[in-house]
Amino acid sequence: MRSDGSPSAPLGLKIAAAGGLLFLHLPIFLIFIYAFTTEERSFVWPPPGLTTQWFAVTWNRPDVWQALSLSVRVAAISTLVALVLGTLCAAAVSRTRFFGRETISLLVILPIALPGIITGIALRSAFSLAEIPFSFWTIVLGHATFCVVVVYNNAVARFRRTSGSMIEASMDLGADGFQTFRHVVLPNIATALLAGGMLAFALSFDEVIVTTFTAGQQQTLPIWMLEELIRPRQRPVTNVVAMVVVLLTLLPILVAYYLTRDGDQIAGSGK
């Protein structure tokens, strides 16, 4: 019927698609307004007045800073572990065929395909069986496990696009394996690794379900927020923290998108 290049969509479809996107975005924007409300006790709408005082109050809350610092440290170490494990796995899987290759892909995806509560309680019961006390490292253990898949997905996609002839040329010109890796392979996969690392960081920074099982008494930022949602102490502070968290997670996602936009997609379809 239509073969003239760019057909336009029926009006009903346009409205439904736009409505769906609005449904996805409006609730998040609402947080930004609530961060400025003068109302302390309830969620009353519209806000009776606007103020910036809650930013100062939040700034002076040591518990928020502690939670933020723990979250950043956990996310940094987990990302580092995930980068090493994910890249090794991707390099092995993308370049060769070997027995058990499918099993390894499944193994990497499983921690994210099964509901978080299963990963959480499995780790917790394993810690209790092995009598490992909760610490910074038990949180990292859980986070790194499900962050591997993000790095792996990004790295695998890039390895597939990197042509083998470049590596062969490097070897023909006399470079050894390590030189080839440093000067040819690494520059090629660097942006994919950076994107994967950013996403892994965002994933760890936001994770709450697995963390509730592996954290003991320590509070990451999401655990702090969960506490506030169940037993609110000072609602306006929660509003401000929520807004800052949105802005902080947005940044790595946008960077990851720009790093991988030509060619391979951002590997996120399995959060």
Partner 1 sequence: MTLASLDSNPAPAVLPGTGGMLGALSDLFWRKPKLLLLLMLLPPVLWLGIVYVGSLFALLLQSFFSIDEFSGLINRQFTLKTYGDLLQAANLDIILRTVTMAALVTFASAIIAFPIAYYAARYARGRWKALFYLGVMLPLWSSYLVKIYAWKLILAKEGILTWLLAKLHLLWLLDGWLSLPVVGGNSLSVSSTGTFIVFVYVWLPFMILPVQAALERVPGNLVEASSDLGASPGQTFRNVLFPLALPGIVAGSIFTFSLTLGDYIIPQIIGTSRLFIGQAVYSQQGTAGNIPLAAAFTVVPIVIMGFYLWGAKRMGAFDAL
Between residue 54 and residue 73, which ones bind partner 1 under the rule CB under 8 A? none
- As measured in angstroms, the least distance from the Cβ of 231 to partner 1 is 11
Q: Which of residues 8-37 bind partner 1 (CB under 8 A)?
A: 8-10, 13-14, 16-17, 20-21, 23-25, 27-28, 30-31, 34
Q: Judged by CB, which is closer to partner 1: 1, or 62? A: 1
Question: Do the Cβ atoms of 146 and 184 come closer than 8 Å?
Answer: no
DSSP state of 50: B
- As measured in angstroms, the least distance from the Cβ of 125 to partner 1 is 5
Using the rule CB under 8 A, give the single segment among 49-57, 60-68, 70-78, 242-250 that binds partner 1. Answer: 242-250
Angle at the Cα of 35 from the Cα atoms of 253 and 69, rounded to 5 degrees: 55
By the rule CB under 8 A, 217 interacts with partner 1: no
Q: Judged by CB, which is closer to partner 1: 124, or 196? A: 124
Q: Name the region of 108 (left: φ>0; alpha: ψ -120 to 50; beta: rest).
A: alpha
Which of residues 6, 52, 60, 217 is near partner 1 by CB under 8 A? 6
Q: What is the rounded radius of gyration, in angstroms, for the C-alpha atoms of the chain?
A: 23
Q: Judged by CB, which is closer to partner 1: 49, or 230? A: 230
Which of residues 76, 80, 121, 255 is near partner 1 by CB under 8 A? 121
Which of residues 108, 139, 157, 192 is near partner 1 by CB under 8 A? 108
Buried b (16+ CB within 10 A) or exposed e, 103-134: eeeeebbebbeeebeebbeebbeebeeeeeeb
Report which of 56, 62, 67 is spatially closest to residue 224, judged by C-alpha positions.
67
* Count of residues of this chain found to bind partner 1 when the rule CB under 8 A is applied: 99
CB atoms within 10 A of CB 24: 9
Which of residues 45, 63, 65, 233 is near partner 1 by CB under 8 A? 45
Helix 235-260 vs helix 186-206: angle between axes, to the nearest 10 degrees? 160
Which of residues 68, 83, 139, 144 is near partner 1 by CB under 8 A? 144
Using the rule CB under 8 A, give the single segment among 51-59, 67-75, 101-109 that binds partner 1. Answer: 101-109
CB atoms within 10 A of CB 199: 28
Report which of 228, 66, 227 is spatially closest to residue 136, judged by C-alpha positions.
66
- As measured in angstroms, the least distance from the Cβ of 242 to partner 1 is 5
By the rule CB under 8 A, 132 interacts with partner 1: no
Q: Which of residues 184-203 bind partner 1 (CB under 8 A)?
A: 185, 199, 202
